[in-house]
Amino acid sequence: MGKQLRIGMIGYGFMGRAHSNAYKRLNDFFPVEHRIVLQVACARNEEKARAFASNWGYQRFETDWRKVVEAPDVDVIDICTPNDTHQEIAIAAARAGKMILCEKPLARTVAEAQPMVDAVEQSGVPNMVWFNYRRVPAISLAKQLIDEGRIGRPFHYRSNFLQDWTIAPDVPQGGAALWRLDVQAAGSGVTGDLLAHNIDTAMWLNGPITRVVAKTETFVKERMHQLTGKVEPVGIDDACAFLAEFANGSIGVFESTRYARGHKALKTLEMNGADGSLSFNLEECEYLDFFEYTQKETGKSTESHVRGWRRIHVTNGEHPYMNRYWVPGLVIGYEHTFLNALADFVAGLESGVKVQPDFRNALQTQRVCEAVIQSGRTGAWVATGVEA
Ligand code: SOE
């Protein structure tokens, strides 16, 4: 029997469930040595903590996260709480020598995120931020094709994340489930919640973003706050569109909103290079579309009468992660992106290769988010300060 990895889960919402599912399935699907143990689940509300722990099979529950961080029988702290709590928990966990898996975005601001990076680096604890979309097999395949030089010199990167769940002005802000609308808890709106994913993927695929100029908008200016019961100003960005310059000379266009009527999670990316293009849409997440202009094998361009977009059904054993699941042609989904991320994290512990995105890497995404928000306020181009 391999070493145990005893999980202390802090938070019980949507992400608490997504991560718990990954913990439960890891040893069924991936040949790692560590055995996952669902040790303790934590929520402030005792009833919720008990129910969550019992539903997902955690051995016990706590209502104070500090007890989990200090517990000698916990190896990994998983932070699934609202963004305003990430820093305190992460720093305490790092000081207690725990490994840390933190939900995205790393924090609300760069100033808040930097000490988190310092804390994990000083204590040397393994750490990762759950930017799960990198682990969609089709997006991982895009990375592979880019690294193989199949699209050549990149010119364009464009990416969307569109939702429509906050259009009604009577949706409250704050409190359970709706903290994403409360700027105190979230730090920002769609920029930190949705575009952070797109920025993480973009910099993974296409390198550092150096400058941005943004337009942000808050369509509903006041909402009832669930915690105070009062109508209060809304401080988040409901929508954000920004232009980006990449260090490699290509340009990017990003858009996100929670006001795109009819779209629940339309998340897309496209890259255009001199030798080819790639396109992905989360609603058809088992496909990667590839336009091959120059054949890598021959160096010649495909004859024009047969040139065209190719749909790659990313379900073969040679595609990223897919040899762990079913047989060619059979698809996996959203929940597997967390499982794949966890598998990489644990495999990294065993091989000694640091998994990405770690806190330091996620700090770069935080820098871009912050530059976007700042530019949204002033309308000016803002340098991101991302390390090249
Ligand atoms: C918001 O609706 C949300 O759940 C984000 O918080 C997640 O990070 C994103 O993956 C899906 O949308």
78 and 169 within one domain: no
Q: Which residue has the tokens 């539903």?
A: 55
Specify if 388 maps to a domain. Answer: no
Is 193's C-beta closer than 6 angstroms to any atom of ligand 1? yes
The runs of H, that is alpha helices, within the chain are 14-29, 46-56, 65-70, 86-95, 110-123, 137-147, 183-186, 190, 196-206, 334-351, 359-378
149 and 81 within one domain: no
Distance 193 CA to ligand 1 centre (A): 6
318 and 365 within one domain: yes
Q: What are phi and psi of 115, to 5 degrees?
A: -65, -25
Q: How many CB atoms lie within 10 A of CB 62?
A: 23
Last residue of a domain, one of 76, 108, 132: 132
Specify if 144 maps to a domain. Answer: yes
Distance 106 CA to ligand 1 centre (A): 14
98 and 182 within one domain: no
187 and 87 within one domain: no
Q: Which atom of ligand 1 is nearest to the CA of 163?
A: 2
Q: Which atom of ligand 1 is nearest to the CA of 196?
A: 8
Specify if 148 maps to a domain. Answer: yes
Give the Cα separation of 288 and 298 in Å (integer).
22
Q: Whose CA is nearest to atom 5 of ligand 1?
A: 193
Distance 197 CA to ligand 1 centre (A): 9
Is 62's C-beta closer than 6 angstroms to any atom of ligand 1? no
Three-class secondary structure of residue 70 per DSSP: helix
231 and 272 within one domain: yes
Three-class secondary structure of residue 142 per DSSP: helix
Domain tally for the chain?
Answer: 2
140 and 100 within one domain: no
Specify if 265 maps to a domain. Answer: yes
Last residue of a domain, one of 89, 110, 132: 132
Using most ligand atoms within 8 A of CB, pick from 106, 164, 191, 193 the residue to mutate for ligand 1: 193
Quick one: pLDDT at residue 387? Answer: 79
Specify if 219 maps to a domain. Answer: yes
Is 237's C-beta closer than 6 angstroms to any atom of ligand 1? no
Last residue of a domain, one of 132, 162, 183: 132
Specify if 200 maps to a domain. Answer: yes
93 and 143 within one domain: no
Which residues constitute the domain of residue 365? 133-383
Specify if 48 maps to a domain. Answer: yes
Specify if 128 maps to a domain. Answer: yes
Distance 180 CA to ligand 1 centre (A): 9
267 strand-pairing partners: 161
Q: Which atom of ligand 1 is nearest to the CA of 258?
A: 2
Distance 194 CA to ligand 1 centre (A): 6
Domain with 260 in it: what CATH number? 3.30.360.10
141 and 117 within one domain: no
Quick one: pLDDT at residue 126? Answer: 98
254 and 370 within one domain: yes
86 and 164 within one domain: no
Domain with 14 in it: what CATH number? 3.40.50.720
78 and 146 within one domain: no
One pLDDT digit (tens) per residue for the chain, 388 residues: 579 999 999 999 999 999 999 999 999 999 999 999 999 999 999 999 999 999 999 999 999 999 999 999 999 999 999 999 999 999 999 999 999 999 999 999 999 999 999 999 999 999 999 999 999 999 999 999 999 999 999 999 999 999 999 999 999 999 988 999 999 999 999 999 999 999 999 999 999 999 999 999 999 999 999 999 999 999 999 999 999 999 999 999 999 999 999 999 999 999 999 999 999 999 999 999 999 999 999 999 999 999 999 999 999 999 999 999 999 999 999 999 999 999 999 999 999 999 999 999 999 999 999 999 999 999 999 999 997 7
Quick one: pLDDT at residue 204? Answer: 98
Distance 111 CA to ligand 1 centre (A): 23
Q: Which atom of ligand 1 is nearest to the CA of 104?
A: 8
Is 75's C-beta closer than 6 angstroms to any atom of ligand 1? no
